[in-house]
Amino acid sequence: MELSLKNFKSQLIQRVILIFMKNYFPIAAASFCSALLAVLVFSIFQKPQKIFIDRNDASAMYTNYGEADPFLSGIQRTFLSSSPTDFIAAAERVTPAVVNIRAVESANYSWWGGSSFGASSGSGVIISGDGYIVTNNHVIEEGNKYQVTLNDRREYEAKLVATDPFTDLALLKIEDKNLPSLVFGNSDSLHVGEWVLAVGNPFNLESTVTAGIVSAKGRSIDILEGEYTIESFIQTDAAVNPGNSGGALVNTNGELVGINTAIITRSGKYEGYSFAIPATLVQKIIRDLRDYGEVKRGLLGIKIAPVDGQIAKELNLPSVEGVYISTVTPEGGAEDAGMQDGDVIVGINGMKIKTIPELQEQVGRLHPGSGIKVEYIRNGKRYSANVTLKDKDDAARIVVKGDDEEILGHLGFTLRELSTDERRKLRVSGVYVENIKVGSPIEKTEMDPGYIITKVGDVKVSSVQEVINEFKKKKGKEIYLEGFYENYPGEYYYTFEVK
């Protein structure tokens, strides 16, 4: 009996195994083969990616090093921090695009039959393959001729495009193609403590690379003068010496995150801290210099002061930070949005604002006509307002995009609407011609900046958009403008074709 029971169990186990092999094994085998095939196909077709790990949340993000227009492309990456600390690859990528600049001032004095010469030198960064170079204004302001030497010792005569003393930036141009250039990085994403490299030509030494960390951000050191100065420097401990001015501050991905500008020193040489203009601000400034020959500054229409402990206590602020509005400018963007004296700005477009330099940097990136969301505290309560930035004449220039921008760009002039004061003074509605590009169809009409357009054809206009709409209707046809100049009598007419 016992033996028979054992045989029964053995036969039962064999039968179960046979059923499993017959019914389920093919399914399991097919699944395994499918998974193996999928992995094989993925490994063949998937291109390798560069992976960087964010130090805060350890999430993997991807990036690439594609070509980009430095004036138009915006930011090349969106992750917060450049984790690699391989300085070799970054240095190899950056040094060919950092140049030596020699500014020479020469003046001939025919009365005495002689001449005098002066010279200064510094660094610059090629930011486009067709030869645009950004540097500091103080590097070139003493000269009237500019000699540029590349890392491979090629030499060029550079042309000065334009300068902006309020941010200490200048734009030069050399004539060549396919030059080595740097891609702009996101200076907002820099962390205090993150590694950076400073590349320049100190003491006329070629392509010197030094390393350090970001020591602070949004730093003001009161070296620039003027009503519209912006000081929101990146502070680093990378060694920067005379001759480094205008050179590159890059992250370990080799992306341009700043233009080295200043040091704090008692000896005249490096003593521990250097300061760079953030790349996000640089990008806006040099684009304006290229396109308009000057910087188009959007203004909030306020006078400001820092928040200290006493102000924070009196206004019932949650912390000692923010920007105090001492005066709201009449007819400015802030007043139009309902802001008042005594308000404290604590945010711009969702970004927390703690200091005046942070506010100046955020607003300094925008053009007149741009709309921003301002968060502020009044009587201990938090509010928000949508403010349209205006220019120094309290006029809100309309920011045009797409086809509208293409039309004005092809014609070669910049328009803005008249300010309230201008309309009151001139007793007329119209559109103001602010800039005219050299060699453009508008310049060929011999129109001058300052012309006020009152009619496009037979249609009266009072806004930039109305002018653009009339241009669109007349595309491919000849059109004439009617208008006047403030300081010259009579009407003036200009004819051209809108293509």
Please list the active-site residues.
138, 168, 245
Which DSSP category does 95 fall into? G
CA pseudo-torsion sign 203, 207, 210, 216: positive
Q: Which of 49, 122, 34, 42 is nearest to 79 (CA)?
A: 49
Angle at 433 between CA 429 and CA 439, to 5 degrees: 155
Helix (H, G, I), strand (E, B) or coil at 90: helix
Phi/psi region, residue 14 (left: phi>0; alpha: psi -120 to 50; beta: rest), is: alpha
Q: Which of 349, 346, 386 is nearest to 365 (CA)?
A: 349
> What stretch of H or E contains 286?
helix 279-292
- Residue 202 identity: P
Place of tokens 């030494």: 205
Q: Decide if 207 contacts 168 (C-beta within 8 A).
A: no
Distances (CA, A) of 251 to 9, 82, 158, 195: 72, 7, 28, 7
Q: Decide if 376 contacts 339 (C-beta within 8 A).
A: yes
The rounded distance, in Å, linking the Cα atoms of 21 and 12 is 14
DSSP code per residue over 143-205: -SEEEEE-TT--EEEEEEEEEETTTTEEEEE---SS-----B--GGG--TT-EEEEEE-GGG-
DSSP code per residue over 320-385: S-SEEEEEEPTTSHHHHTT--TT-EEEEETTEE--SHHHHHHHHHTS-TT-EEEEEEEETTEEEEE
CA-based end-to-end distance of the chain: 106
DSSP code per residue over 12-81: HHHHHHHHHHHHTHHHHHHHHHHHHHHHHHHHHHPPP-EEEE-TTT--EEEE------TTTS--S--SS-
Q: Decide if 193 contacts 167 (C-beta within 8 A).
A: no
